[in-house]
Structure 1
Amino acid sequence: ELRTAARTDPELRRVLTVAERSLRDRIVAQSRTLFGRAVAEHPNLERALDLTLQLMIGAAMSSVLHGEGSRLDDLIDDWKALFPLVLANAGAAATPDRKKVKGKR
């Protein structure tokens, strides 16, 4: 609901953006501690975590709207199996044009 409201409320969007960036940075820092040195130093860790966070946000919305707990559990199990592949290949799908735009965000 906050994200929806932030679309039309510039002040809320500013505050929510700062809060979400701070939370994301803390999640990345904690993940570096939890996953151990090999993962912590992996150059694609942050991108893989960003993808994970976006999937979690979508899963939370689906859970609220549809209440499909067992389906989400299956998707989480799939993501656990896929995460090492994502970590190894994060960013590989970005086209050169998208990589240029990314730097301007």
Structure 2
Amino acid sequence: MLIELGLSKTTTLEVQKRAGVSRGALLHHFPTHADLLSMTINRLIQLNENAVWSEAEKLKDIADPLTRSVMTLANAYAHPSFVAELELWIASRADLVLRTALRSAEQDAIADRDRVLTQLFEGLLDQPGAEKAIGLTIEFIRGVTISSLLRNDKSHQNQLIADWIETLRNLLAADRT
């Protein structure tokens, strides 16, 4: 529901209705809306990894590993599961229970994230500055994804990503000297 309808329409009432359970049964398992949402996190993480590998497969013919890796992440973050996860991140700003659950799930997923990034950026990891470049890329792509929700300007987004790839090239070249 979160992916399909978004956070504002993923209410406990709607979940109860779709699950075909009583209000008491739902509240027994999920006393708060934040408890309910926090249970979606692990599934979103799985879907997001699948999105990365799906996009990697589509872009496997791009010869340049930097371009291929950044484009893979940018395209994966456009998948509804990534957008839903970012929506939870934003909502957690004002919801301590949700923020705590998100931090815990993200902490638990670090090894998986690192495994995915190591595979995705294979061939670049031996370059000085690669770790910094990857970390900055993730933050950049998150920002572009959130901005695209309001702008919906694919050509602008593509230009930003192309500029980012050029910036990364310069960063990696500067770290070699």
Range class of TM-score, shorter chain? 0.5 to 0.7
Counterpart in the other structure of 1:61: 146
**Aligned counterpart for 1:4 among listed residues 81, 87, 90:** 90
Letter in 2 for 1:18: S
- Kindly tell me: are residues 48 and 21 of structure 1, through their superposed partners in 2, closer, same or farther at Cα, counting changes over 3 Å? farther
Counterpart in the other structure of 2:101: 15
**Aligned counterpart for 2:132 among listed residues 35, 42, 47:** 47
- Tell me how far apart the structure 2 counterparts of residues 22 and 46 of structure 1 sit (CA, whole Å): 20
Please, what TM-score do these two structures have when normalized by structure 2?
A: 0.42
Residues 33 and 40, structure 1, Cα contact 8 Å, conserved in 2: no
Q: Percent same amino acid at aligned positions?
A: 31
Which blocks of at least 5 consecutive residues in structure 2 are unaligned?
Answer: 1-86
Please, what TM-score do these two structures have when normalized by structure 1?
A: 0.65
RMSD across aligned positions (CA): 2.5
Deviation at 1:27, TM superposition (A): 4.0
Deviation at 1:21, TM superposition (A): 4.5
Counterpart in the other structure of 2:170: 85
**Aligned counterpart for 2:161 among listed residues 76, 97, 101:** 76
- Kindly tell me: are residues 34 and 57 of structure 1, through their superposed partners in 2, closer, same or farther at Cα, counting changes over 3 Å? closer
- Tell me how far apart the structure 2 counterparts of residues 75 and 69 of structure 1 sit (CA, whole Å): 10
Q: Alignment length, in residue pairs?
A: 89
**Aligned counterpart for 2:115 among listed residues 29, 34, 55:** 29
- Tell me how far apart the structure 1 counterparts of residues 137 and 108 of structure 2 sit (CA, whole Å): 16
Counterpart in the other structure of 2:53: none
Which blocks of at least 5 consecutive residues in structure 1 are unaligned?
Answer: 91-105
- Tell me how far apart the structure 2 counterparts of residues 52 and 85 of structure 1 sit (CA, whole Å): 14
SS of residue paired to 2:94: coil
- Tell me how far apart the structure 2 counterparts of residues 7 and 21 of structure 1 sit (CA, whole Å): 17
Query: What do the CA deviations read for 1:58-84 (whole angstroms, capped 9, x no partner)?
Result: 111111111011100011111122212
Flag the structure with larger Rg: 2
